[in-house]
Amino acid sequence: KNQKIRKIGGRFTMLRPIFFVITLFAAANGDQLSVLFSPKSVEFRGNSRLDSESLPDVFGAALGYSVSHPTEWDGLVIKDPFNTANGAVVIVAEGLDSFPIDGAKTYKLDGNTGSSALSELTQKSAEHQGVSFEVDLKESSDSFTTPLGTVQPDDEEVSPQHLKPKSNKADADFLRQVAYVNGLSDLLVTSTDRIPTVHIVRVSFEALLAAHEANSPALEEAKKLFVSALGELETAAEKAFDGSVIVGLVTASEGQLVRSKRQAKQEPAEEDDINLAKRYNSNYPVIFNIILWFSVVLAFSLIAISIVIGTMDPGRDSIIYRMTSTRMKKDN
């Protein structure tokens, strides 16, 4: 028996390095968040990992919204809660697990549901009377409409050398998405209408990765074009919001799966009569606290006034008796 136990223990000892390598591989292939620009009132620091489900709360907190799911993540510091960001521009790169950008603050994400969770950010914006829009450039045709107007593809500055849009549909689709990002940048700078608070733009690398090998010249050129488009969008957003904007890039390695989940969530479901509680908007806790503490102050004030009146000496404390004279007049 001892020999059998030793053999089993030896096998587990041999398997430990394999488990360790698998764990490292899984950790290295997580999605990531890159913060390209943030206002001075919001600081991103450290390099701690972030739960992908908390992405809407991170961007929402930077916009001054309340946090739905409290987290212990210490990567975000609100320096000035009265001057938070006025807008958020989030670009989702579907099909990539990482995308290094010079000068960006990068955080690894635990889980791969960050892309679908970002849809909650538009709901948060709507609850705070904000305007937002979300667009999937892979599914866009000749143009797409935003609250600012119609975005036309701007491909004048795109002149690829290794990408072949005429002979490769994947290359053509990706270049069209980059042209849409450039068109959105132009619209942000020139528009005089009310700028939406939240922009979520999804760019797909899936077809491009399937058509080209890793580290191929065509793929490297595509990444450079994407970085250039991100830089223009960052500059346009900074000008449009006067520097009070947060610009982020989120990679989604399972873009196709995430998109299917997002579409499934958007399908209307039949509501059963299961006695659900009534939903309240974000102003409910504010109104509740105002009414509560006003009632408390009013109650204590009423008690204090009642005690003072009940213990008052009319001859000494009341002004009514001081206005009348108690001396009798004498006849001379």
Q: Which residues of 219-235 are buried (b: 16+ CB within 10 A; e: fewer)?
A: bebbbebbeebbebbbe
CB 217 within 8 A of CB 162: yes
Give one DSSP letter per residue of 17-61, joined into a string: HHHHHHHHHHHHT--EEEEEE--TTEEE-S---EEGGGHHHHHHH
Number of residues that this document lists for the chain: 332
What pLDDT shows up at residue 119?
85
What pLDDT shows up at residue 253?
83
What pLDDT shows up at residue 318?
67
What pLDDT shows up at residue 325?
57
d(CA 28, CA 56): 23
CB 64 within 8 A of CB 246: no
d(CA 192, CA 52): 35
d(CA 178, CA 205): 11
What pLDDT shows up at residue 262?
46
Q: What pTM does this model have?
A: 0.68
Rounded (5°) CA angle 16-22-28: 135
Look up residue 173 and give its DSSP letter: H
What pLDDT shows up at residue 274?
56
The torsion angle over the Cα atoms of residues 84, 89, 94 and 98, rounded to 10 degrees, is -50
The CB-side HSE value for 228 (13 A sphere, CA atoms) comes to 17
Residue pLDDT tens, the chain, 332 long: 444 444 444 544 444 444 334 444 444 456 899 999 999 999 999 889 999 889 999 999 999 988 877 778 889 999 998 889 999 999 999 998 889 898 899 999 988 777 888 888 888 888 888 888 888 888 866 777 887 788 877 766 667 888 888 888 999 899 989 998 988 998 888 876 678 889 999 999 999 999 988 889 999 999 999 999 999 999 999 999 999 999 999 998 875 444 444 444 444 444 445 556 666 677 888 899 999 999 999 999 999 999 988 887 776 766 666 555 556 556 65
What pLDDT shows up at residue 17?
46
